[in-house]
Amino acid sequence: MEDNEMNNHHWDELHSSIANDEMEAFREKFLDMHPYDQALFFEEQQTTIRQRVYTYLSPEEMADMMEHIELEDIKPFMTEMDPRYAAMVIGDMATDDAVDILNELEKDVVVSFLTMMEKKDADEIKQLLHYEEKTAGSIMTTEFVAVYQTKTVKDTMQYLKAEAPEAETIYYLYVIDEDKHLVGVVSLRDLIVADGDIRIADLMNENVFSVSVGKDQEEVAQMMRDYDFLALPVVDFQHHLLGIITFDDILDVMDEEASDDYSKLAGVADTDRPQDGSFAAAKKRLPWLVILSFLGLLTASLISRFEKTLDEVAVLAIFIPLIAGMGGNTGTQALAVAVRGLATGNFNKEGKLKLILREGVTGLITGTICGIVITAVVYLWQGDFFLGLLVGLSIMTTLIVATLAGALVPVFMDRLNIDPAVASGPFITTINDIISILIYFGLATAFMQFLV
């Protein structure tokens, strides 16, 4: 049976169980599904059906499913639950996931939930809530297994059996000294094959990578990607072990950062979400549009300064969209390459210089070829060689300058410690419009005697 048909079949059975108030039948079918599929079903239901589901599932079962719902979609579900039930659901989640959800809610709601939770869960969550958003501390989990270096393998295995059900991962065990400083790491494989009487200090790998609690989450993601870590320990400034960051959390970070960069490249606020209403979306987009409108007025003002040139050779107006459009397109292409390289950390100082040189040569090659082609096309179309040469030369110069601008602007912003993605596509396009108009009409004015 195909996946879609299977899902439809399960959903029909679940709807039937709810309609007939058959709680046990619903639970049997629902809990047999993967939590991701449970979340898909849950999100598609009306409020009245979801209210019934809350009464059928325990807080722990609901927590397992909630961890597979997109963070920006989860707020309405948490607020429609009975507050005590919602508090228990959050308490049963992995600590880092619970913190992510609470950061989406109003402060008074967060305080209310924390008050109703068990003290142990609330204390762990409060600890992570204090860390600045988008740092290692904000995405780490405190549910990990740490062992003392003085313990034997046998004692550690017994301890691991007791702690494993509450831990996010047990593939790596982080080793600490008596003062809880991180001193090493030992893998589960090493524990399994080692003799039971060996001390952890003799078995561990002292070359353990870690990140500071205040490190930016994007840098953490790059580190885990480069080294293929399944988990990464987080330490404070005294090197005390505070938590770990797991690979599933880093996947969420990568998705978040990619969406954020894409939004900035499109000139859209990263908080502009699909579920926002039209008014809210317009409010978030207006600042960029207003700025770009003023830049557009500057372009119009430049064209008006060449009014005399246009009056004498009106055919020049035909090619304004062509030159401006090509400049914007090639600038955006170079921008995308530069922003991606800077965002992924692939460019060091030499790499940035190499990028600029490469884009300059690329602009020269593409500009020359496009200029020759356009010169021939305009000549055949208008029957005026000098007009074709002017348009072709303008295209060539514009593509070279626009390509360099697309690479230089994000590199310059990165040098100023500004997010390179802020140099968005619409911004570069508008700037290149201004540049292309200056080049086009500047050349036209200089060679006016050959055109009239």
- Summarize pLDDT for 44-79 with one digit per residue, the tens: 999 999 999 999 999 999 999 998 898 878 889 998
Point out the least confidently predicted range of 32-36, 148-152, 323-327.
Answer: 323-327
Can you tell me which residue has the tokens 């860390």?
Answer: 131
Most confident of 192-201, 382-391, 428-437: 192-201
What strands, in cross-sheet order, belong to the sheet with 231-235?
211-212, 231-235, 241-246
Same-domain status, 310 and 446: yes
> Which of 247, 264, 294 is the C-terminal boundary of a domain?
247
Does 124 fall in a domain? yes
Kindly state whether residues 41 and 163 are assigned to the same domain. Answer: no
| 222 is a domain residue | yes
**Whether residues 100 and 208 fall in one domain:** no
State the sign of the Cα–Cα–Cα–Cα dihedral 285, 290, 291, 293.
positive
pLDDT at 1: 44
CATH label of the domain that carries residue 368: 1.10.357.20
The answer to whether residues 291 and 429 belong to one domain is: yes
**Do 406 and 341 reside in the same domain of the chain?**
yes
Alpha helices in 244-305 (DSSP H): 247-265, 278-305
**Of the listed ranges 320-329, 334-343, 365-374, the one predicted with least confidence:** 334-343
At position 418, the amino acid (one-letter code) is I
Residue 141 domain-assigned (yes or no): no
Residue 350 lies in a domain: yes
150 and 118 assigned to the same domain:
no
**How far, in Å, CA of 18 to CA of 155, rounded?**
49
Asked whether residue 272 is domain-assigned, the answer is no
Position 116, amino acid? M
Question: For 245-303, what is each residue's pLDDT tens digit?
Answer: 988 888 877 776 666 655 555 555 455 455 556 776 677 666 666 776 776 777 777 77
146 confidence band (pLDDT: 50, 70, 90):
very high
Whether residues 195 and 225 fall in one domain: yes
pLDDT at 73: 85
Residue 194 belongs to some domain of the structure: yes
How sure is the predictor about 22, in pLDDT bands with cuts at 50, 70 and 90?
Answer: very high
Q: Tell me: do 427 and 338 sit in the same domain.
A: yes
- 423 assigned to some structural domain: yes
Record the pTM.
Answer: 0.59
Q: What is the mean pLDDT of residues 358-378?
A: 91
Average pLDDT over residues 11-27: 91
Same domain, yes or no, for 439 and 350? yes
Q: Which domain holds residue 93?
A: 3-130
pLDDT digits (tens, 9 = 90+) for 150-181: 999 999 999 998 888 878 888 889 999 999 99
Alpha-carbon span 48 to 74, nearest angstrom: 17
Number of structural domains the chain divides into: 3
Same domain (yes/no): 400, 303? yes
Cβ–Cβ < 8 Å for 137, 234: yes
Domain limit, last residue, from 83, 99, 130: 130
Looking at the structure, tell me whether residues 293 and 187 fall in a common domain: no
**CATH, residue 71:** 1.25.60.10
Of the candidates 76, 105, 130, which is a domain's last residue?
130
Verify that 224 and 301 share a domain, yes or no.
no
Confirm whether 264 is domain-assigned: no
Q: Longest C-alpha distance within the chain, in Å?
A: 97
Choose among 58, 109, 107: nearest CA to 79: 109
Instruction: Find residue 10's DSSP bridge partners.
Output: none
CA–CA distance, 408 with 412 (Å, rounded to integer): 6
